[in-house]
Amino acid sequence: MNKAYLGLGTNMGNRVKYLRDACVMLSNHKNISICKISKVYETKAWGYTNQDDFLNICMEIDTNLEPEELLEVCHNIENQLKRVRTIRWGPRTIDVDILFFNNIASDDKVLTLPHPRIKERAFVLIPLMDLNKELIIDDKNISCYLSKLNKEEIEEVKEINIAFSI
Q: What would the pLDDT profile of 92-126 be if each residue is shown by its tens digit?
A: 889 999 999 998 888 888 899 998 889 999 999 99
Q: Look at residue 36 and give its three-state secondary structure.
A: strand
Q: What is the model's pLDDT at position 89? A: 60
CA-to-CA dists, residue 73 to 60, 76, 114, angstroms: 15, 5, 18
| Residues with active-site annotation | 83, 92, 95, 97
Q: Which of 115, 83, 146, 165 is nearest to 4 (CA)?
A: 115
The pLDDT score that the predictor gives to residue 153 is: 86
Task: Please tell me the predicted confidence (pLDDT) of residue 162.
Answer: 82
Identify the pLDDT of residue 48: 67
> Are 27 and 60 contacting, i.e. CB atoms less than 8 angstroms apart?
no
Q: Are 87 and 30 in contact (CB under 8 A)?
A: no
Q: Which residues contact 56 (CB under 8 A, 6 or more apart)?
A: 7, 8, 9, 40, 41, 42, 43, 123, 124, 127
For residue 127, cis peptide bond before it (omega within 30 degrees of 0)? no
Partners of 36 in the β-ladder: 60
Low-confidence stretches of the chain (pLDDT beneath 50)? none
Enter the pTM of the model.
0.93
pLDDT at residue number 66 = 96
